[in-house]
Every structure is written in structure tokens, then in C-alpha cells.
Structure 1
Amino acid sequence: MIRRTSFLVALTAVPIFASAKTIYSGEFDYHSFKPAEAYFAGRSASEVARMCETGEHASNEDLAQCSHLKFEQVRHELSRNLQAARSEIERNDKSLKAEGEPLALPYFVKSQNDWMQYRDSECYTETYMMGEAAERYIFFWECMTSITKNRVREVQELLKN
């Protein structure tokens, strides 16, 4: 009996470290995520659309990939708009260069790079503030989508002018 008690006392003196890490623990790099299309491989577009719209029979991972898919679509739209803006700026820069004026394209490229850094940092900040949560990636992709949609509107305004 004394031996068993000594063993139990010894166990309570040893700190117990339980690793409670989950897929939602720690830092992550969104660039390492597989495309949402790969995640949904084998499902029809209508099935994916229905699941993403209703959330019916969807796991948290499914919903995160739905949010990821929305981000990829908006990112593609931004890419098309950026290419159009770049072409317009390059055309305009030709006349600026001929007049000896500063060129706009280097500033446009820098502003886009700075904007991407802002967007990523903002979404990581908001996501990490929520801590370890099952909705972490859903929240992250929704943030990325929202800020990217705003950028699409800004670039479209630039193109109008």
C-alpha cells in the first residue's frame, strides 16, 4: 500500500504535458493550401454550389473550402482587373515618358504588393485573435474574400478614370 501511494505521489509531482494541438493550432501559410477545386474533386459543380450556399451536410472543412473557393474566384477577378489596369497604365506611361514625366507603373506595382501585404497581415491578425477555433479557416478565407472584393472595386474605379 505504501508503495502504491508513493507511486501516486510521484506521478502528481511530475508535470503532465498534454499536447492539445489541432489543425487549428499555431501559424499557417495560406499559400500552402491546395486549390479548393482539388478538395471538391469528384463532386459536381451544382453539388458544391448547393453545399456552399446552404451548408447542408457540410463539415467545418467543407465550409472552409467553400470560403476558400469564393476567395479563389474573387482573386481571379482581381487578377483580370489588375492586368487590364496594368495595360492601361503602360499605355499612359508611354506618353508620360515622352514628356519626361515620372512613370506610374512602378508605383502601381508597389501599391499592389503593399496592398497584398496589408490584406494578408490584416486577415492573419483577425484570425489569430480568435485563437484556436474550428471556424479559423472559414473566418480567414472570408476576410481574404472581403478585402479582395474591395480591391476589385478600387481597381475598377481606377480603370473608369
Structure 2
Amino acid sequence: MMRATNIAICLFLASSPAYSSSSIYGSTFDYTKATPTSQYFAGKTEEQIQRFCKNDAVATMDVSACAQHDFERVAQTLEKKVSAIEQIMADGDKQLRTRGEPEALPYFRRGQENWKYYRDNECYADVYEAGQASLRFVEFWDCMARMTRNRLDELTKPINE
């Protein structure tokens, strides 16, 4: 009898991961394939979106769209800053090249790519660690926005030592 109970428990535990992954919140997620919030908030001004997102009585899908929208905004700001820095570095690299010195821009670009890889993986780890939850993607977008803001701060604020 005890052996039959143990086998039943083992079978249940073995089948549990398969069951939990079938939930809409248990599937893997690729944020690069997410529908942009410009479609979700089509026809709305930035002011209307911000007012809507500050409302406490929004549904989970709306909260997620608001968090994604926040990330998209800060990511766009970061992209503009990175482009400006790259232009400055490209100009500086011309002078470095004439003196036979190593160029800075390839290293900056590689650093930015590695930073994105780090950010993405940190946020994926956070969201998957939380397990199945209806707000897990809100947490993901919040993480992405927070880390992107931090990177923007790193690139815009002078270093005080």
C-alpha cells in the first residue's frame, strides 16, 4: 500500500511541471516579439496614455501595457543618447586613427550590446523566478525600464569621484 502511494506521488510530481507550463503565464516570453504599445494605445496622445496609466483602477492587461509603454519610452531615449555618443566617438576615433591609436567606438558598441544582454537576462531571471502570476510581465517591463533608466543615467550624468 505504501509503495503504491509513493508511486502515485512520484507520478503526480513528475507530471506537475508539464501541467504548469501549459498556463498562459507559464510560457516563455520574447519581449522583442511583443506587440508595440503604439497599437494597444492607438489614437491616444502621450498625455492621455500617462493619465490612463496613473489610474489605480486598471485591469492587469492595462497595467502590463502601461509598464511596457514606460519601457519603450525610456528605451527610445536611451537609443537617442547612444547614437549621440557614437557620433562623438566616431569623430574622436578619426583623430585616434591618424595617430595610430586604438579606436574607442567598437568597444563602446560591444559594451552596449553586452549591457543589453545583461539587462535582458536579469529581467528574465526575475520574471521566471516569480513563477506563474498574472503580474509577472508587469514585473518584467518594470525591470527593463528600471535597468534602462539606470544605464541612461550612467551615460548622461558625470562621474563624481
Q: TM-score range by the shorter chain?
A: 0.7 to 0.9
Name the residue aligned to 2:123: 123
8 A Cα contact 1:55 1:63, kept in partner:
no
TM-score by length of 1: 0.82
Displacement of 1:110 in angstroms is 0.4
**In structure 2, C-alpha distance between the alignment counterparts of 1:46 and 1:78, rounded to whole Å:** 21
Name the residue aligned to 2:139: 139
Q: Partner letter of residue 76 of structure 1?
A: Q
**In structure 2, C-alpha distance between the alignment counterparts of 1:119 and 1:143, rounded to whole Å:** 8
Q: Partner letter of residue 27 of structure 1?
A: T
TM-score by length of 2: 0.82
Displacement of 1:23 in angstroms is 2.1
Name the residue aligned to 1:103: 103
Name the residue aligned to 1:4: none
Displacement of 1:31 in angstroms is 0.8
Displacement of 1:70 in angstroms is 0.3
**In structure 2, C-alpha distance between the alignment counterparts of 1:91 and 1:44, rounded to whole Å:** 37
SS state at 1:24 partner: coil
Name the residue aligned to 1:32: 33
Output one character per residue of 1:117-161: Cα deviation in whole Å (capped at 9) or x when no partner. 000000000110000100011000000000000111112147xxx
Name the residue aligned to 1:88: 88
Q: Structure 2 unaligned segments of length 5 or more: list them.
A: 1-11
Q: Partner letter of residue 156 of structure 1?
A: T
**In structure 1, C-alpha distance between the alignment counterparts of 2:43 and 2:111, rounded to whole Å:** 39
**In structure 1, C-alpha distance between the alignment counterparts of 2:62 and 2:111, rounded to whole Å:** 34
Name the residue aligned to 1:48: 49
Higher CA-based Rg: 1
**In structure 1, C-alpha distance between the alignment counterparts of 2:68 and 2:135, rounded to whole Å:** 13
Name the residue aligned to 2:9: none
SS state at 1:86 partner: helix
**In structure 1, C-alpha distance between the alignment counterparts of 2:101 and 2:27, rounded to whole Å:** 48
What is the CA RMSD across the aligned residues, in angstroms?
2.3
